[in-house]
Amino acid sequence: MPFAPKDLDFALSPYTGLTRKHWIEAGKYILEGVFQHVKTMDSPVLVPRYETEVTYPNKNTPAWKVQAEYYEGLARSFFIAAPLIAIDPGLEIAGKGMREYYRDHILRSCTPGDEQYVLSYSDMDKGSVPSLGLHTYQQTVETCAIVIGLVTTRKEIWDTYRQEEKDRIAAFIRDYAEGTTATQNWRLFNMLDLAFLSMMGYEIDKDIMREHAEAILAYYVGDGWYRDGHAFDYYSAWAFQVYAPIWCRWYGYENEPYLAREFERNSNELMRTYDRFFDERGHVTMWGRSNIYRNAATAPLAANFNLRDHIVNPGLARRIASGALLQFFGRDDILYEGAPVLGFYGPFTPMVQGYSCAESPLWLGKAFLCLELPEDHPFWTAKEENGIWESMKEGETLETVLDGPGLDIADHHDNGTMELRTGKVLRQRGDSNGRWCYAKLSYSSRYPWECDLGSGLSAASYVLKEPDISTTEQINAILWSGRRGGVLYRRAFFGFDCSVEMHWTSAIDLADFPVPNGLVRADKLRLFHKPVDIYLGSYGFPCPDAEYRIEEKGNAKAIILTGHGSDGEMRHMAMTIFGNGWDGLSVERSTGTNPDTAESFVIFAHASRQKVFGYDPYILISQVITKEGDEGFDPDEIFSIGNISYSDREECGGYGPVTIDMKSGQSYSIDFSEIEGSLQL
């Protein structure tokens, strides 16, 4: 059954009706589902599994990582349980006292010889071959959740341990805090472990702390975002911008004031635009890896209040957090036998990574850290606000460009969606999961990404099929060039490999701009090999009962899909092709490729280029728009372009600007002449 809050307060929370008491109920709702599988007070937090091939533990899992699953269940559920225990020390879930349960199992996890001992860093590393102290382990991640919960429940749990028990836990935490960690967001886990030890009166190596902190700051790219490997995703939010503000409060302000001020500045910089990543309903977009963490993406909003000088709007922060909570908890497919599934909505294996286990989705518990804020805090007492959505006018799209991480956010008033376009993306050739998570041409808050169809085609992306060499090439790298004249410029590579010179790699220069219900694309082919067939997919349309029609006007052609979504609401999607670059449109029905519904549809534009050196049309102009509700599109929305002007007399767009005049009166000059010298990764 979905979470069904009662006695909603639309005076305080006009958008969601949720208050602090509803968040407490939601936390209990998740814990009840999880703890129905914890048979006794001695049993670990393990939930039923339905997937055993991708996630661990599986046939390839080392023994130490079997224990890591125990720790994930314990630590991640503690994100939710800890603030609830602090609010109600006598809390019982599924007939079990939560304070006693976590007090006992945290100690057991650190106790050699106990069947739920999760192994210290030293115990695991001494068995590694070679043993160089250079290995990383999942337990490092979970120690951070444990120490956050122990600080939250300091009076209820930590202070009740005997000194010997405190020392045992502290020694265990220290082993991971001073051990090797992954050189990305994981450094923050070590930082909070060390900060916890310092808070509790234990000596720490301040040089280790300082080294981790300076490295984290070195990942900062501006606009509130940190680089985490080759790409940018919500880890910048639910790791860097949750843990760093906590670190400032626990340790930084007192011991490293310069570093703390930098972390504070970066968090506040994120707050200036982060609300725009959520749509009119406060929904999270399926983008990047680890989307099983879902509404944890809202955690930085409440985390900003850890700072001495914070700028987040409390009414807007709660509105987004509550909207995202309802996005997921309001569905009955998010749970499998009571526990959050490995998916975005229902079970969806294509998006799951091998570092996860059945308990990993409980990282969504980070969203519940807002319950650490007292009931009289502005986060709970301020009236809900909806930010930019309250001030935008009909037909308006607010576009926010963040050059640091290479992100372009388009918030559309008319359909209430957020569309995200990414740059600075590099994934390994053949990494299909990485392509879906990062290298789609755009991501929509209402139309989550769809994995490749059985035909090898891909939604929201280009695909090249080269029939003479039986090869299909997918986009795995996108470089950022920025926005000029209202147009965002990027370059996408097909099958990019850094060992191959770029001129032996097919690419497409991307140019796109928003319209009230979607995006217009005017992209330029840069092919080194022909013959080739080119395909461009719309978003996946998660409406199993969808029907479609074809409309034509002049040299433009469109397919319009209409159907009912999983929420029963009528949905509409239209894909239009303009000019002489495309050959036609088609629709494919697919099963098991969309995270929202079992069956879905994708519209595809297609074109063929046969001549190896022929001067054929280079510019591919298209549009995808979406709408919800009974009212469909009017003709000027479907056929939004009034005129296309080329610089070359052949009207192929091989050189010179291409001017697109919109029926709305706006005009865009598509000019790729500056893209080569301004590409960024």
**pLDDT, tens digit, 9 for 90 and up, residues 483-493:** 999 999 999 99
Residue type at position 423: G
Closest residue by Cα to residue 577 from 609, 624, 616, 533: 624
Q: Provide the pLDDT for residue 193.
A: 98
Mean pLDDT of 228-254: 95
| Among 441, 494, 427, CA closest to 463 | 494
Mean pLDDT of all residues in 123-150:
84
Mean pLDDT of the chain: 96
pLDDT band at 133 (very low <50, low <70, confident <90, very high): low
Alpha carbon 408 to its chain centroid, in Å, reads 15
Q: Could you tell me the pLDDT band of residue 306, with boundaries at 50, 70 and 90?
A: very high
Query: Is residue 65 within 8 Å of 72, Cβ to Cβ?
Result: no
pLDDT on residue 231: 83
Q: What are the C-alpha distances in Å from 317 to residues 28, 207, 298, 338? A: 22, 36, 8, 28
Secondary structure of residue 523 in the 3-state scheme = strand
pLDDT for 63: 78
Name 484's bridge partners.
Answer: 487
> Average pLDDT of 532-537?
98
For tokens 């130490």, the residue is 64
Q: What are the Cα distances from residue 451, in Å, to 351, 352, 456, 562, 578?
A: 8, 12, 10, 21, 26
670 to 401, 579, 583: CA distances (angstroms): 18, 14, 21
pLDDT digits (tens, 9 = 90+) for 185-219: 999 999 999 999 999 999 999 999 999 999 999 99
What mean pLDDT is predicted for residues 560-578?
97
**pLDDT score of 67 more than 60:** yes
Determine the average pLDDT of the residues in 392-409.
98
Average pLDDT over residues 279-291: 97
Res. 132: pLDDT tops 90: no
Please confirm whether the linkage preceding 112 is cis (ω < 30° from 0): no
Q: What is the pLDDT of residue 129?
A: 62
Stretch 466-470: mean pLDDT: 93
Burial letters 274-304, b for 16+ CB under 10 A, else e: bbbbbbbbbbbbbbbbbbbbbbbbbbbbbbb
The residue-averaged pLDDT of 502-512 equals 96
Average pLDDT over residues 313-317: 98
pLDDT at 130 (0 to 100): 59
pTM: 0.97
Nearest to 225 by CA among 285, 183, 279, 266: 266
Given a cut of 80, whether residue 127 has pLDDT beyond it is no
According to the model, what pLDDT value does residue 135 have?
A: 85
Residue 1, pLDDT above cutoff 90: no
Which CA distances in Å does 354 have to 56, 358, 450?
Answer: 7, 11, 19
In the chain, what are the domains?
Answer: 20-390 (1.50.10), 397-678 (2.70.98)
Residue 264 pLDDT = 98
Rounded to whole angstroms, how far apart are CA atoms 532 and 473?
10
pLDDT for the residue numbered 125: 80
**Residue 605's pLDDT is what?**
98
The residue-averaged pLDDT of 278-295 equals 98
pLDDT of 411: 98
- Per DSSP, helices labelled H in 205-256 are 206-218, 235, 241-247, 253-255
At residue 398, the 3 state secondary structure works out as strand
CA distance 167 to 172: 9
Q: What pLDDT is stored for residue 65 in this prediction?
A: 83
Query: Side chain identity at 180, as an amino acid letter?
Result: T
Per-residue confidence (pLDDT) for residue 126, from 0 to 100? 79
The answer to whether residues 304 and 310 touch, using CB atoms and an 8 Å cutoff, is: yes
- pLDDT at residue 458 is higher than 60: yes
* Structure-block tokens of residue 451: 């994995």
Angle between helices 139-152 and 63-87 (to 10 degrees): 20
